[in-house]
């Protein structure tokens, strides 16, 4: 049995270790954190909106989403998973041919904060290679899955010529929900960004990281509703919103 003083020391050590672990987890996951390395979030321009989609390509939603974006003449950004891109190369080319920006979302969608250095290198290199082989051109943009990163992951991304991109508004659409819930989640983020004088970098999903075929019809419908709502919001203030991709903030 430990003496009382030793028990106090052990308890304090455990508490400190938990606090350090919590801080590492927060700084390695929070989309606004820059502690582990610089990541792009949004420009100081509240008239700009970037629509970004993760986890594709996905036959069950990506083509429908492309139709909505074309109808509204909006250019978006798609962060694609390498293993799905290899299975659906024609859909990747369709996204690019429609004029949208394509970035990497790693090869298999792991939480990079928890990966070894070797796994991080493999995920980034294989994800990039899949997209570059299909597109025949370099990929310059990268979104870490879950926003999870650590300094080595960001250094490795930059060594490959990738700019890490996070977000400041989230649809919470990776699970079954309604278009209205997705729209309201993003609108709250948009309102917060407006108060801060920031552009809105809106995160949605056109796929699911566990496999092809994920139902993202709620995200497609929310996209159409949000574009119309944003345009009406700014028109009522005699302003014009601009839909951009991260290239505009580089």
Q: Which residues are catalytic?
A: 54, 205
Distance (Å, rounded) from C-alpha 176 to C-alpha 160? 35
State the burial class of residue 233 (Cβ atoms within 10 Å of its Cβ: 0-12, 13-18, 19+). middle
Distance (Å, rounded) from C-alpha 162 to C-alpha 128? 9
Distance (Å, rounded) from C-alpha 182 to C-alpha 184? 6
Are 199 and 44 in contact by the 8 Å Cβ rule? The answer is: yes
DSSP for residue 244: E
| Cα distances (angstroms) measured from residue 21 to each of 28, 128, 130 | 10, 30, 34
Name the residue among 180, 78, 194 with its Cα closest to residue 131. 78
């Amino acid at each position: 049995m430990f003496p009382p003083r030793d028990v106090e020391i052990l308890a304090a050590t455990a508490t400190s270790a938990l606090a350090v672990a919590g801080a590492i987890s927060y700084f390695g996951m929070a989309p606004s954190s820059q502690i582990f390395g610089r990541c792009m979030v949004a420009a100081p321009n509240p008239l700009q909106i970037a629509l970004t989609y993760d986890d594709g390509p996905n036959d069950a939603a990506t083509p429908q989403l492309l139709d909505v974006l074309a109808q509204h003449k909006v250019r978006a950004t798609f962060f694609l998973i390498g293993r799905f891109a290899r299975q659906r190369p024609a859909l990747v080319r369709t996204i690019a041919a429609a004029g949208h920006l394509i970035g990497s979302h790693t090869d298999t969608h792991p939480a990079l904060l928890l990966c070894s250095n070797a796994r991080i290198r493999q995920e980034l290199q294989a994800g990039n290679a899949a997209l570059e082989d299909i597109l025949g051109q370099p990929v310059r943009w990268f979104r870490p899955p879950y926003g999870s990163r650590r300094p080595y992951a960001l250094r490795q991304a930059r060594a490959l010529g990738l700019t890490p991109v996070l977000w400041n508004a989230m649809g919470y659409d990776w699970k079954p929900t309604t278009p209205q819930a997705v729209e309201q989640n993003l609108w709250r983020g948009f309102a917060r960004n407006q108060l801060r004088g920031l552009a809105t970098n809106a995160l949605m999903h056109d796929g699911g990281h566990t496999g092809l075929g994920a139902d993202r019809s709620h995200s497609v419908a929310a996209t159409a509703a949000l574009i119309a709502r944003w345009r009406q919001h700014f028109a009522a203030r005699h302003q014009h919103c601009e839909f951009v991709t991260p290239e505009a903030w580089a």
